[in-house]
Amino acid sequence: MNTPIVDGPEAVPVLRGLIAGSRRIAIFTGAGISTESGIPDFRSPGGIWTKNQPIVFQDFLASEEMRREAWRRKMAIDETFSSAKPNRGHRAVAELVRSGRAGSVITQNIDGLHQASGAPADRVIELHGNGTYAVCLDCHRLHELAPIFEDFKRSGIPPVCTVCEGIVKTATISFGQSMPEEPMRRARDETLACDLFLTLGSSLSVFPAASFPAIAKENGATLIIINREPTPLDAAADLVLHTGIGDALGEAVGVE
């Protein structure tokens, strides 16, 4: 296949055929798979970036005021995250993983919705961590969010570890922070083991995460991209759907 099919009525049947004919699928997801659950992405119009520039890790470490701002933002957005439910796209992904068609889902998301939709937790590879809990940057102990929010609301002081007084941060990977080694290694293994790589809802602009689709393609896998807007890899892909994920993938996989 040389010419990618971009949209059109024939795209979903082609997608279904490629999925059915594959030996092993790797799935790669970005913020776009969760917009249908009501969680805004970064780069769409009205996305998180149009409101707030991200706080880089070094600034978070260096300044208590930045940590205060980071926790203010986290509290403001947490209601949206904690009330979000998986959508049809998550359910289709979970079906592919559960049935064994896909080894794992590699995700840039921090919302926990793949696990909530029934994908086994040990087969969700989180490249950018998880925003549903916090971690001490010194002793690595995990902390629940609810008591942190309560203290922060009362005192306005950003949290420190109850064990070692280290700085506490949501368990997500910020810009400037090093990538987690084990998820990166597992994501690479999945990428190299697949013959079909499915990219869902990522602008493919955050590196190194965004390098996996290109690695898969170079390794000989068929590359499929479903994303509302064009991505830098569209021209290299075998099939591109500029459409919403839930209905297209749900129809192709046969999941409501």
* Site residues for ligand NAD per CB under 6 A: 30-32, 34-36, 39, 41-44, 47-48, 108-111, 128, 201-203, 205-206, 226-229, 244-245
Q: Could you tell which of ligand NAD, Zn ion, none binds residue 161, using a CB distance below 5 to 8 A set by kind?
A: Zn ion
Contact characters 142-181, Zn ion, x per CB under 5 A: -------------------x-xx-x---------------
Q: Is 242 a catalytic residue?
A: no
| Catalytic annotation, pick one of 90, 114, 128, 143 | 128
Q: Could you tell which of ligand NAD, Zn ion, none binds residue 35, using a CB distance below 5 to 8 A set by kind?
A: ligand NAD
Q: Of the two residues 92 and 134, which places its CB atom closer to Zn ion in the complex?
A: 134
Long-range contact set of residues 79-85: C-beta below 8 Å, sequence gap at least 24? 80/38, 80/39, 80/40, 81/39, 81/111, 81/131, 81/132, 82/132, 83/38, 84/34, 84/37, 84/38, 84/39, 84/111, 84/113, 85/37, 85/113, 85/116
Name the residue number minimizing CB distance to ligand NAD.
32
**Does 62 interact with Zn ion (rule: CB under 5 A)?**
no
Q: How far is the CB of 23 from ligand NAD (least distance, A)?
A: 26
Q: Could you tell which of ligand NAD, Zn ion, none binds residue 164, using a CB distance below 5 to 8 A set by kind?
A: Zn ion
Q: How far is the CB of 233 from ligand NAD (least distance, A)?
A: 12
Catalytic residue annotation: 128
